[in-house]
Chain A
């Protein structure tokens, strides 16, 4: 209960203990992943055999560090490419959608809004599968009709981008719409009134206002794409993004090099998270 409302000491004690236990539960898996990145053992398991940086810097098998593991490094590069493409396309469409839903009225607007939200309730695996099925249908049809193999619609990175874009756009739209809703339209009218053209208004007033949301939505989209597994799994071809590559290693049983990658991932996402919080702070 609220601090202003009395409650028994035991209740308060138990409540605080519960909250503390919860945060231990939250922190535990990430902590062990980070710690075992420095274990000088071939397995990411007990016992502790002393500290090493080998899983980062090690140059040859069996202790091949992440900075020399070309397979994993390449998959990071693949993930980066996919994430950048997905982010750019999602942001572009999400910005259009935000203006459409916040600034326009048209018949069927509510229905369209509900449809726009549906990707959030379609399980990722199914979204991936349906995109796979449909793109293959198109590719097959093109091949039969024009005897031309439409490479882009076969499992591969283009399809991964398309599949991720399909649901990340919804999330980006929600973020940008929320900011646009707070925009005071009289600022745009004031700019027009002072002689600005419609393009000037967009450039000097509206977009600067939306910038924090665009940056925030961009970071969220990037991370969601970079870390996506379910949809990607169904659409991936021969080039494996990082999550897929790590999954394959995990199933085979891997050295703590995976812990090292994970630690780098944590640092990267942590940095981006801090950046997005900083952008939001600055804006307030």
Chain B
């Protein structure tokens, strides 16, 4: 990331660590979040992301390291004095209060004058698009409305950082898609720094400016959504972000631009790109996105000349094993000739493929640079 002297960071963690008995939940995590950005921490459940977020909010104390907000350490600041607010996983809206009382709660605790509170609440409700809901009870709101009130309740306090703990998890799929867009808009409108944790890669990819992929208490990679997707640093990132075909094979030969990998079942293909960590004869893990594979229909008789490495292009023939129709995300599974490997390929949305079925012969090809290789 950029130089800390020239950029102002809203939030910074330095070598933060947290242990629970013998278990290390957060292991030596450092990161910096520039002002006004949408930062996501993406990881499977149990990776330590919730613990990290709770340390930022002050509900847990790190065993080592430092947390700085706007350049000031907040380790000695109790949670009710920290300039961060949090949207809880199940929102934690107070059921015994109205919508307006929920939004006003933080201002009341600051002992703000009554008329100021009233205007601030009214203004905030209007900005989140619920101007007439002030008098409603919480259980009269829909899931998406609750979501917006939970955010409004925090933003009305003008926090330096807003923490969001998987707030979309409880929503159904349609609403979740809609809320992703809405959250991004809200963040841009208010310009507040959002720290968003989730196990759903699509939420992170759609909304974030930067994403940290977390696994077993450590950050595996921090970068833009595109960087994570196209240039994963580790095998974990490659497999966790997006769908991939994954093979395990041995590096059989290498040259100046790339190398050839052969799997146990005899599939051999060429890879190019970052291979510095790989030696001849070493085991490697290879990932290939389904949409990176070009697919063509072939006639029943033609046996494509399977081969790797012609001009950096891998070409194979095979037979369709199964069609997994899912609209725009449809895939076919193809078993390759001359090996027992099978591969998932994204189905192009052209009329040519509308009637593809089991047993159809196809030709597959992908550029050698599309594969990501990692030593095992």
Touch test A–B (CB under 8 Å): yes
Digitize A155-194: 1 where CB-to-B-CB distance is under 8 Å, 0 elsewhere. Answer: 0000000000000000000000000000010110111111
When C-beta atoms are compared, the residue in chain A nearest to B154 turns out to be A194
Q: How far is the CB of B58 from chain A (nearest CB, A)?
A: 8
Which residues of B, 93-149, contact A by the 8 Å Cβ criterion? 93-96, 105-106, 109-110
Digitize B41-77: 1 where CB-to-A-CB distance is under 8 Å, 0 elsewhere. Answer: 0000000000000000101000000000000000000
Instruction: Indicate if A196 sits at the interface (CB-CB under 8 A).
Output: yes
When C-beta atoms are compared, the residue in chain B nearest to A195 turns out to be B109
Q: Which residues of A contact B89 (CB under 8 A)?
A: 186
- CB-contact partner of B105 in A184, A196, A197, A198, under 8 A: A196
Which residues of A, 186-215, contact B by the 8 Å Cβ criterion? 186-187, 189-198, 200, 204-205, 208-209
Q: Which residues of A contact B93 (CB under 8 A)?
A: 190
Residues A193 and B80 in contact, CB atoms below 8 Å apart: yes
- With A186-B92, A187-B94 as contacts: A193 and B105 at CB distance below 8 Å: no
When C-beta atoms are compared, the residue in chain A nearest to B89 turns out to be A186
- With A189-B59, A189-B79, A209-B96 as contacts: A195 and B110 at CB distance below 8 Å: yes
- With A194-B105, A194-B106, A194-B109 as contacts: A186 and B88 at CB distance below 8 Å: yes
Q: Which residues of B contact A196 (CB under 8 A)?
A: 80, 105-106, 109
Residues B94 and A205 in contact, CB atoms below 8 Å apart: yes
- CB-contact partner of A190 in B82, B84, B86, under 8 A: B86
- Please, how many angstroms separate the alpha-carbon atoms of A208 and B96 in the complex? 7
Q: Which residues of B contact A208 (CB under 8 A)?
A: 96
Say what secondary structure dominates the interface of chain A. Answer: helix
Q: Which residues of B contact A200 (CB under 8 A)?
A: 109
B interface residues, tally (CB under 8 Å): 25
Residues B90 and A194 in contact, CB atoms below 8 Å apart: no
- With A190-B86, A195-B80 as contacts: A184 and B109 at CB distance below 8 Å: no
Q: How far is the CB of A193 from chain B (nearest CB, A)?
A: 5
Q: Which residues of A contact B59 (CB under 8 A)?
A: 189, 192
Instruction: Indicate if B298 sits at the interface (CB-CB under 8 A).
Output: no
Digitize B255-267: 1 where CB-to-A-CB distance is under 8 Å, 0 elsewhere. Answer: 0000000000000
Instruction: Indicate if B157 sits at the interface (CB-CB under 8 A).
Output: yes
- Please, how many angstroms separate the alpha-carbon atoms of A195 and B93 in the complex? 15
Q: Which residues of A contact B92 (CB under 8 A)?
A: 184, 186-187, 189-190
- Please, how many angstroms separate the alpha-carbon atoms of A195 and B107 in the complex? 8
- Please, how many angstroms separate the alpha-carbon atoms of A187 and B153 in the complex? 13
Q: Which residues of B contact A194 (CB under 8 A)?
A: 80, 85, 105-106, 109, 153-154, 157
Q: How far is the CB of A185 from chain B (nearest CB, A)?
A: 9
Residues B80 and A192 in contact, CB atoms below 8 Å apart: yes
Residues A189 and B157 in contact, CB atoms below 8 Å apart: no
Instruction: Indicate if B354 sits at the interface (CB-CB under 8 A).
Output: no
Instruction: Indicate if B174 sits at the interface (CB-CB under 8 A).
Output: no
Instruction: Indicate if B81 sits at the interface (CB-CB under 8 A).
Output: yes
When C-beta atoms are compared, the residue in chain B nearest to A209 turns out to be B96
Residues A190 and B81 in contact, CB atoms below 8 Å apart: no
Residues A195 and B88 in contact, CB atoms below 8 Å apart: no
When C-beta atoms are compared, the residue in chain A nearest to B59 turns out to be A189
- Please, how many angstroms separate the alpha-carbon atoms of A105 and B23 in the complex? 20
- Please, how many angstroms separate the alpha-carbon atoms of A195 and B77 in the complex? 12
- Please, how many angstroms separate the alpha-carbon atoms of A186 and B57 in the complex? 12
- Please, how many angstroms separate the alpha-carbon atoms of A24 and B185 in the complex? 67
- Please, how many angstroms separate the alpha-carbon atoms of A208 and B105 in the complex? 15
- Please, how many angstroms separate the alpha-carbon atoms of A184 and B90 in the complex? 10
- Please, how many angstroms separate the alpha-carbon atoms of A186 and B153 in the complex? 15
Residues B109 and A193 in contact, CB atoms below 8 Å apart: no
When C-beta atoms are compared, the residue in chain B nearest to A200 turns out to be B109
- Please, how many angstroms separate the alpha-carbon atoms of A209 and B97 in the complex? 11
Q: Which residues of B contact A193 (CB under 8 A)?
A: 57, 79-80, 82, 84-86, 154
- Please, how many angstroms separate the alpha-carbon atoms of A58 and B99 in the complex? 57
Known: A190-B93, A193-B82, A209-B95. 10 other contacts (CB 8 A): A184-B90, A184-B92, A186-B92, A190-B86, A190-B92, A193-B84, A196-B109, A204-B94, A205-B96, A209-B96
- Between A and B, 20 residue pairs with Cβ closer than 8 Å are A186-B88, A189-B57, A189-B79, A189-B88, A190-B92, A190-B94, A191-B94, A192-B59, A192-B80, A193-B79, A193-B80, A193-B154, A194-B80, A194-B85, A194-B154, A195-B106, A195-B157, A196-B105, A204-B105, A205-B96
List of 10 A-B pairs having minimum Cβ-Cβ separation, nearest first: A194-B106, A190-B92, A186-B92, A195-B109, A192-B80, A208-B96, A196-B109, A192-B79, A186-B88, A193-B86
